[in-house]
Each structure stands twice: as C-alpha cells, then as structure tokens.
A and B are shown apart, each in its own frame.
Chain A
C-alpha cells in the first residue's frame, strides 16, 4: 500500500460559522520564524469585512439573549475543544519561533485565560452593575449590556494568548466579534476558528479575518454598524483621520494590554443602563 500522502490545509476565513475564501480571491504566504513557507492563507478584503459585520450583527441579539449561564457554558466548551487540540496549537507556536517549553506554557495560559473569562459570564453583572442609593421609594439599578458588534485587531504578540485575551472579554457579555488578524497570529487564529466551528458557539458570534489589519481597520472604524473597535493589536501608522471616523457613530475605541486579564476589560465593551423601579409602598 502506498504511503499516506499528506493533506495540507487550505486556510480560509471564518464568517458566520463557515469557512469562505476571500471574495477578492487574494491569498498571502505565512512563513515560520525561520522563513519557511508554512501555508497560504486567505487575505480578507473590505467586502469580507462587510460580510463579517453583517454575520456578527445578525448573530448578536440571539447571543445576547441567551442566559449568562448558557454563554458561560458555551465558552467553557470552547476551552474543552482547545484542550483536545493542544498539540496543534503548540506546534503552531513552535513554528512561530517559540521554544517547545514556551509554546506549551502559552497554550496552557491561553486555555486557562479562556476558562477564566467563561466564568465571568454570570458574574460580571454583579461586579460591574450597581444598586444606587436614591431618595424616594425606588430601587435604582445600573446594569451592563453588551455594546453590540466589536471589531478586534488581534495583537501579534503573544500570538495565541493575545488573541484569546482580546476575544474572550468581547463575547462573554453577549457582544459578537469580527477579529482581524495577520502576521504571526494568523495560524493561531485559523486554528482557533476550527475550534469555534466544532464547539457550540453559534455561527457569527466570532468571525475571523486574516490578512492586512492595516487595510481592514479603516473600513471597520468608518463602518456605521460597528459599535466598538479594539485597537490593541492595530499596526503602527493607522492614520488619525481613520480613527476619528469612529466618532461618527460614537464607537468605543479600546486599547488595552494584549496579555492583560481583568473584569474591567469586559467592561470596556459594555453599555451601562440605569433603571428606576418603584418599591411600591
């Protein structure tokens, strides 16, 4: 019997729960730290971004309407699937120049990070919300709601931990995400897409675009149906006018520590709603 012929993966985008090629037909080469060609990946265009935002918008209300407990369970399930793909994530990081020890450590931290954020799903309301003292026979509550569709520029370093640390605080509260990746985080992102596709995350909750972040971000910042843009992983040279365009629909612009983890990072993508409720006496 002939020897098994290796099947190389075709790396594609992840939009609305499926893996399309870029509508532009473009691809780019992903090289290892040593300069070896690892893969050809799809290079997303502004129209792919538009489709991803559309997918994220249509998924958002349904995702936010789930109970916090259920969102936490679904995200925990992602960690379970990642755990079963530890070897693949580790080898991606080794290709990117990590030592085997560093790669294993980053994969462990990434999965732990994701589980940690999954646990916040049904706790963030208590920690970030408040009961406000008011004069008069009323309860007065301030509670968090997801802001909507968030475009995330994934950081290049650390490739996997940074990616997960920026996606998790977005989606845990009921936002949906369009993640722009490129460079060293490309293969980690595409591998994560395969995890998401085989877990219970509804299609459109996380959409992943690979390519040139600098090409996609001005369109994201100007897009009137995007509620927030996380520029943590934005490349240098993003023009001021492009960022200023975000003001037209009052987008939240977020810049954070790519490795950080905090409930207040969830808060960056929340709107606080205050309601008065009669006590009834």
Chain B
C-alpha cells in the first residue's frame, strides 16, 4: 500500500488526493454487484440504456470509408426492423475515417469520436500527438479519445503525463476529451486510481479503461475502481467526470453489470450517454439478440443481426 498522491486540478479548485485501494474488497464488491439479477422490464430498460451509451467502434487497420458508412448506419438505426431501438451515443473511428463518419451521421444526433494522439501506444513526439488531435478535431470529431502516456506515468514522471493531457485538452477545443488509462498495463488498482485522478486533474472529460488492443481490459473490478475515483474527485472538487468502459465487453450481461456498478457507485444519474459510455463492437449485436428474445420469447441467433 502506498501513500496517497496529491494532484492540483488544472481547472482550478483545491488539491485532490487519491485513496488507497483495498484490492480484495474491491473485487468482492464488484463480484457481489455482478450477481444482481435483472429481469423483464428492468432488463429491457437496461438493454436500451446500454445501446444509448455505446460508442460503436471500429479501429482496424483495414477500415474503409464503406465499412465506416455501414457502421454509422448501424449506429443510427441498430435494428432496422425495430424502430423502438434507440441510436447509440457515438461512433468511434481512426482520424482518417472521421470525415466519412461525420457525413454519415450528420443530423442524426449520433456523435463522432476519434482516437488520436498516436493511438494505441501514444509513443510519438508530444508535438506530433497534439497535431494528431488537432487534425481529428479539424476533420469534425466531437469527441477525442487519447491514451495516457504510460511510459511517463510508469517511470514516475507524473508531471509530464499530466501536462500532456492538459495540452491535449487544449488542442481539443470544444471537443470532449476521453483519456484511456490502459488499465491492463498499469499493474495495480492503486496505480489505476492514481492515473484516474491524474487524468481528471489534467482536464479529462471522461476517463476510459482501455484501448481494446490488449486482452486484459474493462473488467468489472477495474470499472468499479475508476468509478470510485470519479466519486472521490467529484466529492473533492465538485467536478463531474464521465466513465467509459472499453475492451472485452461482448455480452449484454457484462454490459448491464457495468450499469449496476456505475449506478450503485456514482448514482443512476450517471447512466446517461453524457457521463457513461461503453466502447464496443460485437456487444451491440448481443444486446439486439437479447431484445429479440424479450420480444418474441424465443432465443435469437447471429443470422438475425448484421455481420460486423
């Protein structure tokens, strides 16, 4: 257990300090929250909330304008046969694809998020990363997902990690900034708690678990850990920061357990697209199949949703 670390928020306000994490209790609490049973009308409501909070994502080297266009159509109208299904919160793409996404979702209320800042490793010169962010904003992105400088953070250079996020926030202008901690690489819950506080103090609008590029990603204890960091930060500064889970969330059940964790930790007012997101691609199809099951009383299958 390490002593708490103190950060001074760039947005003003007094210094904030991290709370040490009890890993055993954290995992036990997450496991307990994940046993909650959600049925019938609550299940339908949870599934719709899940869809409204999804950042429908494609981050492949093989992405094309055509693939992004079909992703955007799915984002706007996830199930063409069922107009009751809401649109997702945003589509999340690489900067090269932003213009195509912006054109495809114009006027629909779906936002365009772009990863930037040398995603997913972030190992480029600071000026290059800032230019990458500015470029994505210039192409029309509403939201920017960057990665924490884990190299600086892990070597103890917290000041540099902090200042780079602050610079990124400045480059974003009006766009929302989500900071990816890549929790699977940080080594411990304490480190994640510290990185969360650092990112929030530096001006992040959202903190996000993972890039989705490494296997260990948005686990339930990790999301609980970050939700508690957000609660601490709000208690100490009054500033409200959003949470995005991403990576490895494939089933509707995993998703609604995240809703339970966030709702119980931060309050149900957090369960809106403004404060909570789930970065996912295959999750949406599983949610749609669950809704079809509720509607028809029969189990559905992958033949009745789109091929991603």
The interface of chain A, by Cβ under 8 A from chain B, is: 50, 53, 57, 219, 222-226, 245, 248-249
Contact = CB atoms under 8 A, between A and B. Distances in A.
B187 interface: no
Nearest to A245: B298
Contacts of A222: 297-299
The 9 closest A-B pairs by CB, nearest first: A225-B301, A222-B298, A223-B299, A224-B301, A224-B300, A50-B299, A224-B304, A224-B298, A224-B299
A162 to B, nearest CB: 27
A225 B303 contact: yes
B302 interface: yes
Nearest to B300: A224
Nearest to A53: B299
Contacts of A248: 298
Contacts of B304: 224
B300 A225 contact: yes
B302 A219 contact: no
Interface in B273-305: 292, 297-304
B252 to A, nearest CB: 13
A226 B297 CA distance: 15
29 contacts: A50-B299, A53-B299, A57-B301, A57-B302, A219-B298, A219-B299, A222-B297, A222-B298, A222-B299, A223-B298, A223-B299, A223-B301, A224-B292, A224-B298, A224-B299, A224-B300, A224-B301, A224-B303, A224-B304, A225-B299, A225-B300, A225-B301, A225-B302, A225-B303, A226-B301, A245-B298, A248-B298, A249-B301, A249-B303
A96 to B, nearest CB: 33
Given A224-B301, A224-B303, A245-B298, 11 more contacts: A50-B299, A57-B302, A219-B298, A222-B298, A223-B299, A224-B300, A224-B304, A225-B299, A225-B301, A225-B303, A226-B301
Contacts of B302: 57, 225
A250 B304 CA distance: 14
User: Which range contains the number of B residues in contact with the other chain?
Assistant: under 10
Contacts of B301: 57, 223-226, 249
A50 B297 CA distance: 13
A248 B297 CA distance: 13
Interface in B159-177: none
Contacts of A226: 301
Contacts of A53: 299
Contacts of A224: 292, 298-301, 303-304
A223 B298 CA distance: 6
Contacts of B300: 224-225
A224 B298 CA distance: 7
B215 to A, nearest CB: 18
A248 B303 CA distance: 13
Contacts of B299: 50, 53, 219, 222-225
A225 B304 CA distance: 9
A120 to B, nearest CB: 28
Contacts of B303: 224-225, 249
Nearest to B301: A225
Of the candidates A53, A224, A225, A245, the one having the most CB atoms from chain B within 10 angstroms of its own CB is: A224
A248 B301 CA distance: 12
A24 to B, nearest CB: 13
Nearest to B292: A224
A249 B296 CA distance: 13
A53 B302 CA distance: 12
Contacts of A245: 298
Contacts of A50: 299
A53 B289 CA distance: 14
Nearest to A220: B299
B283 to A, nearest CB: 15
A172 to B, nearest CB: 24
A161 to B, nearest CB: 31
Of the candidates B292, B300, B301, B304, the one having the most CB atoms from chain A within 10 angstroms of its own CB is: B301
B112 to A, nearest CB: 33
A178 to B, nearest CB: 12
A69 to B, nearest CB: 29
Nearest to A149: B301
A270 B285 CA distance: 28
A134 to B, nearest CB: 31
Nearest to A248: B298
Interface string B9-22: 00000000000000
A245 B303 CA distance: 17
A53 B292 CA distance: 17
